[in-house]
Structure 1
């Protein structure tokens, strides 16, 4: 007995998954202020990364953590939505889940800071 996947199989599933991803990005943009702020940060800092360096590895070090911030923010928003779907009642486990999602965003921002400092500081220090 085989179970059918809700979004089908094969190439059709890829297209449906892509549509779900676009729906998620659209929702995050329309309803999540933090996502919009972090997207704006990326829209400023990614071009800045190309201005700071042309070395491929340094570009990766500057850009990938910024994109990861958007990933982690989407996951954090998903956690919050799932918790709110279960109940809007204040509960210690709900707070824990939401706080851990927030902590993940915070650590991602620290990673961005460390990566950017690692690339920028050597530009100002002569050996």
Structure 2
């Protein structure tokens, strides 16, 4: 609930999840493929929540500019990017296998 209220990225990814999860369920692919498609989207949401938690802790304890604070935030953002990349690769690969 807190992520939805305060995090734009989480809201955007949640909207995508609301669209893509039903699409995954309806696609004419195997159960394993459906689980991979859905799991990749859920993973993005999990990593986004963890990134938001890291940012909240850093902001709470770090009023001043500190290299470790920036590093923590950058690594959290990189984790989100990796999760999004994995989701994209998963979706493209499965859709290509199913329809090409």
TM-score under structure 1 length normalisation: 0.75
Is the helix fraction higher in 1 or 2? 2
Aligned counterpart in structure 2 of residue 100 of structure 1, from 58, 75, 84: 75
Larger Rg over CA atoms: 1
Aligned counterpart in structure 1 of residue 11 of structure 2, from 20, 31, 36: 36
SS in 2 for 1:88: coil
Aligned counterpart in structure 1 of residue 56 of structure 2, from 81, 100, 104: 81
Q: 1: distance between equivalents of 2:4 and 2:63?
A: 23
Q: How many Å apart are 1:54 and its aligned residue? A: 4.5
C-alpha RMSD of the superposition? 1.1
Larger relative contact order (C-alpha < 8 A, sep ≥ 6)? 2
SS in 2 for 1:90: coil
Aligned match of 1:56: 31
Alpha-carbon displacement from aligned partner over 1:84-118 (angstroms, at most 9, x marks no partner): 11123221111100000000000000110111112
Gaps of 5+ in 1: 1-25
Aligned counterpart in structure 1 of residue 22 of structure 2, from 42, 47, 62: 47
Task: Tell me which moved more, 116-125 or 36-45.
Answer: 116-125
Q: How many Å apart are 1:55 and its aligned residue? A: 1.7
Q: 1: distance between equivalents of 2:28 and 2:39?
A: 14
Runs of 4+ aligned residues of structure 1 deviating over 3 Å after TM superposition are none
Q: How many Å apart are 1:53 and its aligned residue? A: 2.8
